């Protein structure tokens, strides 16, 4: 996720008009103050778009997780142990479709995964709309 976020942030900061950046510096603001007051707010919508893209891509890439996570049916805080992810939970319970409880767990986990993506998208749109001037 990090490379997508970094590249989109860098590109959005480069898209800020050069005269704006020079004008802010000409007014006597320090580099940090000009960055945090002018450049960052102008690039914020693109940065949020990059974050949403990265999170959506990470949630969507389930095949490598299914084949490499090894899976654990029990909760564990040890990072050396196999972990249970939502895509792996969906996959394993969908295979046991003969059992209604397993099928219900698979549908519930899929619903949670879709809800997470929806919440991230709505939160991003709300934050971008809130930061947009004139509204």
Q: Residue 2: its pLDDT value, please? A: 82
Residue 135 domain-assigned (yes or no)? no
Query: Averaged over 29-48, what is the pLDDT?
Result: 85
pLDDT in tens, 64-110: 666 666 666 676 777 777 777 777 778 778 887 788 888 888 888 88
Residue 70 domain-assigned (yes or no)? yes
- Residues paired with residue 70 on neighbouring β-strands, in sequence order: 83
56 shares a domain with 66: no
Query: Averaged over 126-130, what is the pLDDT?
Result: 80
86 shares a domain with 72: yes
Give the pLDDT band (50/70/90) at residue 57. confident
What is the domain count for the chain?
2
Look over the chain and give the mean of its residue pLDDT values, rounded to a whole number. 80
Query: Averaged over 48-56, what is the pLDDT?
Result: 84
41 shares a domain with 78: no
Give the pLDDT band (50/70/90) at residue 133. low
45 shares a domain with 34: yes
Q: Comparing C-alpha atoms, which of 51, 70, 43, 22 is closest to residue 117?
A: 51
Q: Comparing C-alpha atoms, which of 80, 84, 56, 81 is closest to residue 72?
A: 84
Residue 45 domain-assigned (yes or no)? yes
- Long-range Cβ contacts of 121-125 (<8 Å, 24+ apart): 121/52, 121/56, 124/48, 124/49, 124/51, 124/52
Rounded alpha-carbon distances, angstroms, from residue 126 to 48, 53, 119, 131: 10, 16, 10, 9
Q: What is the pTM of this model?
A: 0.52
Q: What is the rounded CA–CA span in Å between residue 63 and residue 12?
A: 31
Residue 19 domain-assigned (yes or no)? yes
66 shares a domain with 49: no
Q: How many CB atoms lie within 10 A of CB 34?
A: 20
- Supply the range of the domain harboring residue 1: 1-60
């Amino acid at each position: 996720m990090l490379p997508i976020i970094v590249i989109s942030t860098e590109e959005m900061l480069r898209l800020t008009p050069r005269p704006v950046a020079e004008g802010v510096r000409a007014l006597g603001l320090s580099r940090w103050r000009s960055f945090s007051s002018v450049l960052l707010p102008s690039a914020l919508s693109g940065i949020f778009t990059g974050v949403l893209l990265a999170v959506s891509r990470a949630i969507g890439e389930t095949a490598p997780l299914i084949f490499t996570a090894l899976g654990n049916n029990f909760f564990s805080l040890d990072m050396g142990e196999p972990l249970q992810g939502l895509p792996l939970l969906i996959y394993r319970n969908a295979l046991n479709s003969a059992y209604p409880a397993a099928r219900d767990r698979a549908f519930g986990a899929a619903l949670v995964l879709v809800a997470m993506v929806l919440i991230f998208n709505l939160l991003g749109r709300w934050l971008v709309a809130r930061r947009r001037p004139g509204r």
